Amino acid sequence: MAEVAAASVDVVDLHKNYADQRTRVAAVDGISFRVEAGEFFTLLGPSGCGKTTTLRCLAGLERSDAGTIRIGDLVVSSSNPPAFVPPNERDIGMVFQSYAIWPHMTVFQNVAFPLKVAGLGWRSSETVARVEEALALVRLDAQASRLATQLSGGQQQRLALARALVRRPKLLLLDEPLSNLDARLREQMRLELRALQRRLKITMVYVTHDQTEALSMSDRIAVMHDGRIIQSGSPAEMYLSPASAFVAEFMGSSNVLEVHVAQRFGFSPPAGASGFISIRPEHVRLHRHAGNGEAGGRVESVTFLGEMTECEVTIGERRIRSRMLSPVDLAAGDVVTVEMRSENATPL
């Protein structure tokens, strides 16, 4: 499949509210962002943060209450002036968490179905050519005649992807597409999906609660919380320079510590100032306490994670996590010195 004519996405001051007889909840509370053409953009956050609602507004499956959505040059949703383009006219593809495949159809028929709805026959030359192209792209061409229910979980995920790509959309929307796969297959599909996106240079907006997925696949990430985007940036920026304790802790394990400035150096805050910093466990080093008068920490637990070993250490009332390359010659009860370097600490 050749590169598609990818579209940019602009979302401006988007609002979506849900209400019952007693309460009104702002599922999406005035968010704005831009996705460049050909970019892999991820909306990341916990359940209920508004990321799936945002995606459904992009798809036209939900009508926003206010704001503007533009896909390429087309305004697909606007509150002023009022405008709404139905989903089938937005030139998008979508992959759901459940895959939503037709169990009574073959693999070929599942992929051909969007083309049939668009007016092409099941076996027209164009349908056959485009279905075969999409199936080859996801390595399912040998399974074209099988029933969809005879596929493995990973193959069903590829089938849903082929069906979304067969219309050659300008924008592909993905809602937790890997969450039903086991850990090893999920890791494999992350690599395949990212490679496919780079090959086609298609614009993707991806929704997930999994920070590993977001970090490993995205060009940019927007972290959502309570219906708002609280930080966006490249994976490295989000991980190494979190803007808040929420982002630091959501983007992986982090030590959020209250600190006090004892002596000023360079451009640091003045002595007596206090605040919070974030430091990742992999930037915390533990050394056996030499008994040289320095305050020591006590190892509370040691957890083997394979290539890494995680230790929890208490210093007074503080609990600090450290991750070091295995093997680590420490055990619960050991007294250690904790080393943290200022260049690895991010002020919050």
What Rg value do the Cα atoms of the chain yield, rounded? 25
Confidence bin at 21 (pLDDT 50/70/90): low
Contacts of 250 (CB under 8 A, 6+ apart): 44, 45, 46, 211, 223
Most confident of 70-79, 145-154, 195-204, 283-292: 70-79
| The token pair that represents 196 in the structure block | 């496919």
The number of domains in the chain is 2
187 occurs within a structural domain: yes
248 occurs within a structural domain: no
Q: What is the pLDDT of residue 290?
A: 66
Q: What is the pLDDT of residue 267?
A: 58
Q: Using the 3D structure, point to which of 202, 219, 242 is the last residue of a domain.
A: 242
Mean pLDDT, rounded, of the chain? 90
Residues 69 and 155 in one domain: yes
Residues 233 and 265 in one domain: no
Residues 296 and 191 in one domain: no
Residues 314 and 174 in one domain: no
Q: What is the pLDDT of residue 163?
A: 92
**Whole-prediction pTM:** 0.88
Residues 189 and 277 in one domain: no
Residues 16 and 158 in one domain: yes
**Strand ranges inside the chain, DSSP E:** 9-19, 24-35, 40-44, 66-71, 74-79, 82-84, 92-95, 171-175, 203-208, 220-225, 228-233, 255-260, 274-279, 284-288, 297-304, 308-315, 318-325, 335-340, 346-347
Residues 237 and 260 in one domain: no
Q: Are 332 and 318 in contact (CB under 8 A)?
A: no
Q: Are 29 and 227 in contact (CB under 8 A)?
A: yes
Residues 289 and 212 in one domain: no
Residues 280 and 226 in one domain: no
121 occurs within a structural domain: yes
Q: What is the pLDDT of residue 254?
A: 92
250 occurs within a structural domain: no
Q: What are phi and psi of 36, to 5 degrees?
A: -75, 155
Residues 191 and 284 in one domain: no
> Is the pLDDT at 293 greater than 60, yes or no?
no
Residues 63 and 198 in one domain: yes
Q: Using the 3D structure, point to which of 215, 242, 269 is the last residue of a domain.
A: 242
Confidence bin at 106 (pLDDT 50/70/90): very high
Domain CATH code at residue 274: 2.40.50.140
Average pLDDT of 32-42? 98
Most confident of 128-132, 225-229, 289-293: 225-229
111 occurs within a structural domain: yes
193 occurs within a structural domain: yes
1 occurs within a structural domain: no
224 occurs within a structural domain: yes
Kindly provide the b/e burial profile for residues 98-133, where b requires at least 16 CB atoms within 10 angstroms of the residue's own CB: ebebeeeebbbbbbbbbbeeeebeeeeeebbebbeb
Per residue in 157-200, pLDDT tens?
Answer: 889 999 999 988 999 999 999 888 888 888 888 998 999 899 99
Question: Structural domain of residue 343, as residue ranges?
Answer: 255-347
Domain CATH code at residue 175: 3.40.50.300
Per residue in 217-251, pLDDT tens?
Answer: 999 999 999 999 999 999 999 999 999 999 999 99
Q: What is the pLDDT of residue 5?
A: 77
Q: Using the 3D structure, point to which of 212, 242, 272 is the last residue of a domain.
A: 242
Q: What is the pLDDT of residue 103?
A: 87
Residues 237 and 265 in one domain: no
> Is the pLDDT at 17 greater than 90, yes or no?
yes
